[in-house]
């Protein structure tokens, strides 16, 4: 079985994503109040710090999803085992949870391909190497792709004799506002074949106190994750943010149904972003909204599937029903 890695983050793909990045920062810092989208934070280090978040004991989305894979791996395997299939994972990160499923499929002697796609080259390379060292004697072949979600998907030949299941885990969909999430899942369905599955991890609405605790750890990992955004702006756009003059806090906003992370300027200051040819002023305690993590209800999940061209197959939950991995089939 083969264990391969492809990097699509070079040449034109890289320069168009750099231009998109600069445009998103410009628009976000000109907004009142300032607001930067969650996806800006993912370079290699951003993806690594996110892995640290998933290991925090109080970060329920990761703990719940591990439990869901352990409880329901046979049910997922039952969906797939009847025909040849391929497991594609968008934004795979360290692939920890997925390995619970992969191991189960391997133990059941199924033959399949696993295709992790992630914008972080480091994450994909490490994942392919880890899988090769553990499973080189199995019937699983692996093709890791470092790319944006849809560039990676378009790279995989559309072989209609192979059923695809696309995993989009970790409540990453919650980082998108509802209309963007709808566009995303519709485009995803259009990139697949009728009968393919998607499995999407949704964090469910719950007691705001639980949400507050999950996104404000005492060890400061969330703050490091969010302030890393300032390092990225310094590196990619030649900005001169000084991280020591900013602090971060997350809180649930009942108007947007999302946990919103804010980066607060602790003083009045001016920051130059060379690549944008602009200076941006911050008042003391002015906030930039950064991470956005929408909390879904079951009804919203079903509506999203229905409006975007899917049939809901099943909702897989942890025992306390804090989180759902919802499995949908692409309609003809
Ligand atoms: C919230 S993390 C989830 C990681 C992992 N799936 C989990 O459940 O723990 C989002 C992942 O998506 C990747 N990512 C973010 N934006 C991406 C994009 N546009 N294309 C591909 N991967 C992306 C990040 O590098 C990161 O590994």
Q: What is the mean pLDDT of the chain?
A: 95
Answer whether residue 13 shows pLDDT above 70.
no
- Ligand 1: residue of 93, 127, 145 to mutate (most ligand atoms within 8 A of CB) is 93
Q: Model confidence over 18-62: pLDDT tens digits?
A: 899 999 999 999 999 999 999 999 999 999 999 999 999 999 999
User: Which of the listed residues 119, 126, 225, 259 should we mutate to test ligand 1's pocket, taking the one with most ligand atoms within 8 A of CB?
Assistant: 119
- Ligand 1 atom with the shortest distance to the CA of 118: 22
pLDDT of 227 above 70: yes
Q: What's the gap in Å between 243 CA and the centre of ligand 1?
A: 24
For position 301, what pLDDT does the model report? 98
Task: Mention every residue, 6+ apart, whose C-beta is less than 8 A from residue 30.
Answer: none
Q: Atom 16, ligand 1: which residue's CA is nearest?
A: 39
Query: For residue 16, what pLDDT is reported?
Result: 73
Half-sphere exposure of 182 (CA within 13 A, CB side): 9
Ligand 1 within 6 A of CB of 120: yes
Percent of the chain with pLDDT over 90: 93
How large is the average pLDDT for residues 84-113?
Answer: 96
Would you list the DSSP string of 249-304?
A: EEEEETTTTEEEEEEEESS-EEEEEGGGTEEEEE-TT-EEEEEEEE-B-HHHHHHH
CA of 283 to the centre of ligand 1 (A): 32
CA-closest candidate to residue 99, choices 66, 75, 72: 66
The Cα–Cα gap between 248 and 265 comes to 9
Q: What pLDDT shows up at residue 112?
A: 96
Decide whether any atom of ligand 1 lies within 6 Å of the 50 Cβ. Answer: yes
Confidence at residue 17, expressed as pLDDT on a 0 to 100 scale: 83
Which residue's CA is the closest to the ligand 1 atom numbered 19? 148
Whole-number Å distance between alpha carbons of 285 and 273: 20
How many helices and strands (H and E) does the chain possess? 10, 13
285 with 301: CB under 8 angstroms?
no
Measured by CA distance, the residue closest to atom 1 of ligand 1 is 172
User: How many Cα atoms are found within 13 Å in the side-chain-facing hemisphere of 176?
Assistant: 16
Cβ neighbours around 13 below 10 Å, total: 14
Output the CA 118–ligand 1 centroid distance in Å.
6
Nearest CA to 176 out of 298, 61, 258 is that of 258
Ligand 1 atom nearest the C-alpha of 94 is 5
What is the mean predicted confidence (pLDDT) over 257-285?
Answer: 98
- Read off the tokens for 304: 């999203």
Q: What is d(CA 265, CA 283) in angstroms, rounded to the nearest whole number?
A: 7
pLDDT digits (tens, 9 = 90+) for 113-126: 999 999 999 999 99
How confident is the model over 146-173, as a mean pLDDT?
A: 90
- Please give the Cα distance from 42 to 92 (Å, whole number): 12
- Is 293's C-beta closer than 6 angstroms to any atom of ligand 1? no
Give the model's pLDDT for residue 83.
82
CB 80 within 8 A of CB 163: yes
The C-alpha atoms of residue 91 and residue 182 are separated, in whole angstroms, by 17
Structural domains of the chain ordered from first start: 33-55+217-294 (no CATH), 57-207+297-330 (3.40.50.150)
> Using CB atoms within 10 A of its CB, is residue 15 exposed (0-12), middle (13-18) or buried (19+)?
exposed
Alpha-carbon span 15 to 294, nearest angstrom = 30
What confidence category does residue 159 fall into, taking pLDDT thresholds of 50, 70 and 90? Answer: low
């Amino acid at each position: 079985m083969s264990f391969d890695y492809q990097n699509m983050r070079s040449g034109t793909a890289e320069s168009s994503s750099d231009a998109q990045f600069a445009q998103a920062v410009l628009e976000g810092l000109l907004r009142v109040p300032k607001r930067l989208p969650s996806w800006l934070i993912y370079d290699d280090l951003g993806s690594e710090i996110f892995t640290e978040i998933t290991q925090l004991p109080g970060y329920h989305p990761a703990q719940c999803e591990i439990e869901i894979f352990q409880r329901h791996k046979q049910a997922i395997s039952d969906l797939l085992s009847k025909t040849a299939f391929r497991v594609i994972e968008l934004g795979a990160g360290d692939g920890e949870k997925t390995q619970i499923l992969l191991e189960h499929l391997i133990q059941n002697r199924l033959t399949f391909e696993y295709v992790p796609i992630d914008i972080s080259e480091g994450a994909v390379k490490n994942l392919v190497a880890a899988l090769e060292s553990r499973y080189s004697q199995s019937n699983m072949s692996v093709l890791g792709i470092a790319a944006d979600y849809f560039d990676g998907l378009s790279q995989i030949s559309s072989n209609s004799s192979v059923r695809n299941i696309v995993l989009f885990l970790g409540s990453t969909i919650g980082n998108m506002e509802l209309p963007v999430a709808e566009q995303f899942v519709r485009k995803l369905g259009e990139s697949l074949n009728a009968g393919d599955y998607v499995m999407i991890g949704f964090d469910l609405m719950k007691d705001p106190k639980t949400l507050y605790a999950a996104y404000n750890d005492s060890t400061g990992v969330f703050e490091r994750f969010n302030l890393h955004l300032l390092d990225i702006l310094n590196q990619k756009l030649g900005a001169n943010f000084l991280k020591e003059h900013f602090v971060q806090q997350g809180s649930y906003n009942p108007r947007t149904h999302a946990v919103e992370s804010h980066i607060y300027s602790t003083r009045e200051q001016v920051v130059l972003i060379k690549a944008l040819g602009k200076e941006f002023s911050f008042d003391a305690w002015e906030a930039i909204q950064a991470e956005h993590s929408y909390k879904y209800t079951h009804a919203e999940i079903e509506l999203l599937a229905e409006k975007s061209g899917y049939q809901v197959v099943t909702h897989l939950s942890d025992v306390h029903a804090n989180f759902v991995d919802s499995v949908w089939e692409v309609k003809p």
